[in-house]
Amino acid sequence: MEWLESFWATYSTLVLSVGTNVLLALSIYLTLACGLLTVANAAFMGLGAYTAGLLTINTGTPFLLALLLGALVPALVALIIGRPTLRLSGVYLAMATLAFGEVVRIVILNAENLTGGALGLNGIPQLTGWFEVMSAVSFTLYILLRLARSRVGRAMAAIRQDEIATELMGLNVRSYKLFVFVFGAALAGLAGALNAHFTFFISPNEYGFERGVEILAMGVLGGSGSPWGAVIGGLLITLLPELLRGLGHYRPLINGVILIVIILYAPRGIWELTRYVRFPTRTPTAN
């Protein structure tokens, strides 16, 4: 038990980061599974983090409520921008959401009186423990796994395969897209709210372009065919730099090379590799 205690003392933040990153990966899985390439998740994460952080610091809102609102506010924003934005597809959708994310970041930066601007938000109470993170991750994972096997999940897969055919079959494609976009935003917001409450401090630059790309990398590396892929991606992106810590200066170099190698040998994500094990007779379909 002493071993566990010392492990937890050293690595608690890392373990909690794994949890919130898995949530982020799941948030982008939702849109990727529907064939949508959106990269506003970092901004939604920031909105969640600031909402929850401001609430617990200034008003002493109970943590659970703050988390809930941290998920709700980005969901609401996603609902508002979703309709016009989701008419776009492919790279254009990615760029529109990227631009939106930048605008959100700069607005947070300039709303100095509320957010502290570049100086960030300090002294956020330490309320996130392993229990909150574990419950959030397992609950989300349960819902998404159920969802994947439900009518909604099949509709999502159909939209990804062929949007026009799905529409012709009478499914309301736009509503499904809006649903995954808003749900994804809520998850990213929740991850942000949880993350803010174990890192003492948040600042606008954490929620910029780099974070957005990192989240996307988690989703794609793990594989967007199943929520489990997102879990793998989140684990990998969080733990890889830690495992390579001994490499010193050249850690990012090796880290980058490993990412390339994974993509080369598992272009559909790591989860898809297990497909051969799971269904040895079926050949993967190209889309």
Partner 1 sequence: MLAQQLVNAISLGGVYALFALGFTLVFGVLNVVNLAHGAIFMLGAYAALQAVIHLRLPLLASALVAMLITGVAGWLLDRLIFAPLRTRRAPHLAPMIATIGLAISLNSLVQGFFGAENLRFPVDALLAEGLSIAGVQITWLELRIIFLAFVLMAALLWGLKKTRIGCALRGLAESPKAAALMGVDVEGLFRMTSVIAAALGGVAGVLIALYTNAVFPQMGQPMLHKGIAVVILGGMGDIRGALLGGFFLGFAEVLSVAYVGSTMRDAVAFGLLFVILLFRPEGLFGKSAQRRA
Partner 2 sequence: MKLKQTLLGIILELGFACGVTVAAEIKIGVAEALTGNAAQYGVPIRKGFELAVGELNGSGGINGNKIELVIEDEQGKKEEAINVFKKLIFQDKVLMLFGPTLSNSAQASDPVAQAGKVVVFGTSNTADGITSIGNYVFRNSVTEADILPVTLKVAAQKTGLKKVAVLYGNDDIFTKSGYDNFAKTLQALKIPVATTETFAKGDVDFKPQLTKIKASNPDAIVLSALVAEGGPIMVQARQLAITLPFIGGNGMNSPRVFELAKDSSDNLWVGSPWSVENPAAENKRFIAAYQKAYGSLPDQFAAQAYDAVYIVAQALKKVKPTGKLDADRKALRDALPGTQWTGVTGPFKFRQVTGRDSKPAGYDAVQTAIVMMTKGNQYVIQK
With beta carbons less than 8 A apart as the criterion, state whether 27 and 191 touch. Answer: yes
Q: Which long-range contacts (CB under 8 A, 24 or more apart) does 60-66 make?
A: 63/127, 63/132, 63/197, 66/193
By beta-carbon proximity to partner 1, the closer residue of 65 and 261 is 261
Contact flags string 203-242 toward partner 1, x per CB under 8 A:
------xx--x--xx--xx---------------------
With beta carbons less than 8 A apart as the criterion, state whether 83 and 178 touch. Answer: yes
With beta carbons less than 8 A apart as the criterion, state whether 36 and 183 touch. Answer: no
Q: Which of residues 94-113 bind partner 2 (CB under 8 A)?
A: 109
Question: Could you give the 3-state DSSP secondary structure of residue 43?
Answer: helix
By beta-carbon proximity to partner 1, the closer residue of 145 and 263 is 263
62 binds partner 1 (CB under 8 A): no
182 binds partner 1 (CB under 8 A): no
Binding piece for partner 2, criterion CB under 8 A, among 55-63, 118-126, 127-135, 177-185 = 118-126
Binding piece for partner 2, criterion CB under 8 A, among 23-31, 36-44, 239-247, 261-269 = 239-247
85 binds partner 1 (CB under 8 A): yes
CA angle 205, 178, 55 (to 5 degrees): 45
Cα 212 from Cα 214, distance rounded (Å) = 5
Least Å distance, CB 50 to partner 1, is 17
Which partner, partner 2, partner 1, none, binds residue 279 by CB below 5 to 8 Å per kind? Answer: none
91 binds partner 1 (CB under 8 A): yes
Binds partner 1 (CB under 8 A): choice among 58, 89, 126, 135: 89
With beta carbons less than 8 A apart as the criterion, state whether 155 and 166 touch. Answer: yes
Other CB atoms within 10 A of residue 106 CB: 12
Q: Is 192 exposed, middle or buried (0-12, 13-18, 19+ CB in 10 A)?
A: buried
Cα 75 from Cα 49, distance rounded (Å) = 13
Residues at the contact surface with partner 1, assessed by CB under 8 A: 37, 84-85, 87-92, 94-96, 98-100, 102-103, 106-107, 109-110, 163, 209-210, 213, 216-217, 220-221, 249-253, 255-260, 263-264, 267-268, 286-287
Residues at the contact surface with partner 2, assessed by CB under 8 A: 6, 9-14, 17, 109, 117-120, 122-123, 199-201, 203-206, 241-242, 245-252, 254
